Amino acid sequence: MIRAYSQRLLPPFSGFVQIAESERARAQSLDGVNWEILYQASDDPSARQQKRGQGYAVDRSYLPVAKLNNQQLTPFLVPSRLDAEEIAACIQELSDYLSTAPLPFPAADIFEYWLLDGSDESPLALIFSCCEASQMSVYPAHTDWTALPHLKMQIDYTAEELARSDPPVNHRFESLVAKRAGKKPRAAWFERGPDETVAFPSLLVREDWPEQTEHELCQRYLLRKSPRLLMLQGLSHPDRERLEIAAKKYAVEVDEYFSLYPEVNDQSRMSALRVEARLRRCTPQQPKATTKDTESGPTPLSKDLRILE
């Protein structure tokens, strides 16, 4: 029996890992195309059960035994102490499953650790998530929310920002979130049901900022992140529409993440972007010179929301 699920990559949110897991092996992928197959070498059944389902970010007890790239399977050499036949059977089972499994897999990380708004303690920004309640104690109890840094996701500067030598948008928005959390920030674990969305920011951070400059900073960050945010499951049609429109500027990233988009509002729009991405890959790009190239870059809680202290 194979369990297939996905989990958000945090912190900061940068996408999803897809996981297909059997009793003693797992396959995992960041793009749904290139897979790493790993084998649980422990002979202790209780240890295997304890590790099972701990998620990409926590469990590192598996041994890489094969890779599957574009349906091309490449087994690795394994230590002689291990059962080669059992490993081969595990590899084949997962490979066969992945050849027909629909992507993306359902998100299983329903336990979420949120930084809270300093004014009303409602969810402000997602810090961690995990798949099992038993995993919550593994994560540090800190209250720092981090934006995807400028080096990994560059956001264009305005002429005025360049003239003032402003820090990257990513850094300024991160500081804005920290300020909203207050001088004594708090964070809490929540168990989120499948239909429980009202009290949680759909794009994993609050968008209702009182000042226009703050709102614009938030939107610049989120819309630049649109190719990654389109991987989120359960987005409303309007949210997905504004992200798809924003993602038109980032065709190569859309093509990279497309296989993990759970829905698409406009198939012709996405098809055009993917064609554009392939054309761009065949065209040498001229580097953009900029002075910043080296930079490192209140909704009330619902009544049935359960905080896990």
Parallel/antiparallel/unpaired status of strands 72-75 and 187-191:
unpaired
Global pTM value: 0.83
Parallel/antiparallel/unpaired status of strands 62-69 and 72-75:
antiparallel
**Confidence grade of residue 303 (pLDDT, cut at 50, 70, 90):** very low
Judge contact between 309 and 187, C-beta under 8 A: no
Q: What is the mean pLDDT of residues 113-120?
A: 96
- Give the Cα separation of 260 and 51 in Å (integer): 26
- What are the structure tokens assigned to 52, written together? 């099972």
Cα 289 to Cα 5, 156, 166, 294, 295: the distances in Å are 42, 12, 17, 11, 13
- Taking the C-alpha atoms of 71, 94, 133 and 225 in order, what is their torsion angle to the nearest 10 degrees? 0
**What number of CA atoms fall less than 13 Å from residue 70's CA on the CB side?**
0
- Give residues with Cβ within 8 angstroms of 93, minimum separation 6: 2, 22, 25
The per-residue pLDDT for range 16-73, each reduced to its tens digit, is: 999 999 999 999 999 999 999 999 987 554 444 444 444 444 345 789 999 999 889 9
